[in-house]
Amino acid sequence: MTRTLRTVFAAALVTAFCGGSASATDPSQPDAGREKRWQEIAGYLFDDRDIVPTDTLIKIDAPKRAEDAALVPITLTMPEKDKIKSVYLVIDDNPAPLAAHVTFGPAADPGALQLRVRIDTYTNVHAVAETKDGKLFSTAVFVKASGGCSAPSGPSDVEAMKGMGDMRMKFAKGVEKKSSEATLMIRHPNFNGMQMNQLTRLYTPPRYIDKVTVSHGDQTVLDIVGDISLSTNPVLSFNFMQTDGQPMTVVASDTKGSRWEQSFQVPSAMH
């Protein structure tokens, strides 16, 4: 890991910004600061592997200003999908920056992925594509959102827990032959540990979906590692290569050790 690097950055920041006297804003400095932040995160997540900026291998579609900071829809598209092994979604200024790591299996069509996240403050959002030859490519957008992490999971904690683990899957025709689109919905409060209960003045203990595996027949579609930035009632849309007659199976587990499994029949007349 890059602990030394981190310390250097920290020291630099203190020197630059905590000198004790206010000065006019240097408009270029903030961008440098955001880039430093990204480098620091990347250091932790990817050690010293090279990350090449790309505007072709992976793209992010996110609202410039979120309507709801606790539910910011993000769409990732990977036009050269045959090259893609996995994708990382990183919300730079969330305290736990890695929102999700999704690894595509043999039954996946890695062309597109949609998910919903909580965003705590105005921040860059990075998407990193890992290609099958082990290289990393990144892109970023700036999203204006505020307070997404401390926003409650529902009208009340009890209400938010109702139906925990219930799943739905919806299917739609994909854009090309054999590829179908599926939307997976999981009922789960995804308590992130940063939501405070008024009565007890305590934080609601974290409890969130951290692993989801989607299979089609005996082939893996997706392996998802989630973190506290995924929205309450996680919803994930993805594409898969359909084999008629084979069900979709979802296995999800949360950080309290609960595990849910459900199978869905795929409509066979989709193509």
Residues 15-74 that bind another protein (CB under 8 A): 16-27, 29-31, 33-34, 36-37, 40-41, 44-45, 61-63, 65-71, 73
- 68 or 80: whose CB is closer to another protein? 68
Q: List, in sequence order, every beta strand (DSSP E) within 20-163.
A: 51-53, 59-61, 72-77, 84-91, 98-104, 108-117, 123-131, 136-143
Choosing from 51, 87, 97, 236, the residue that interacts with another protein (CB under 8 A) is 97
Q: How far apart, in Å, are the Cα atoms of 19 and each of 23, 37, 175, 207?
A: 10, 20, 56, 40
CB of 20 to another protein, least distance (A): 4
- With contact defined as beta carbons under 8 Å apart, do 250 and 211 qualify? no
- 15 or 245: whose CB is closer to another protein? 15
Q: Does 237 bind another protein (CB under 8 A)?
A: yes
Rg (CA), the chain: 20
Which residues within the stretch 193-232 sit at the binding site for another protein (CB under 8 A)? 193-201, 203, 205-206, 210, 227-228
Q: How far apart, in Å, are the Cα atoms of 13 and each of 6, 36, 37, 210?
A: 11, 10, 11, 33
Q: Does 159 bind another protein (CB under 8 A)?
A: yes
Paired with 75 in beta bridges are 61, 114
Q: Does 116 bind another protein (CB under 8 A)?
A: yes
CB of 213 to another protein, least distance (A): 18
- 13 or 106: whose CB is closer to another protein? 13
CB of 2 to another protein, least distance (A): 12
Single-letter amino acid, residue 76: L
Helices 3-17 and 28-46: angle between axes, nearest 10 degrees? 160
Q: Does 268 bind another protein (CB under 8 A)?
A: no
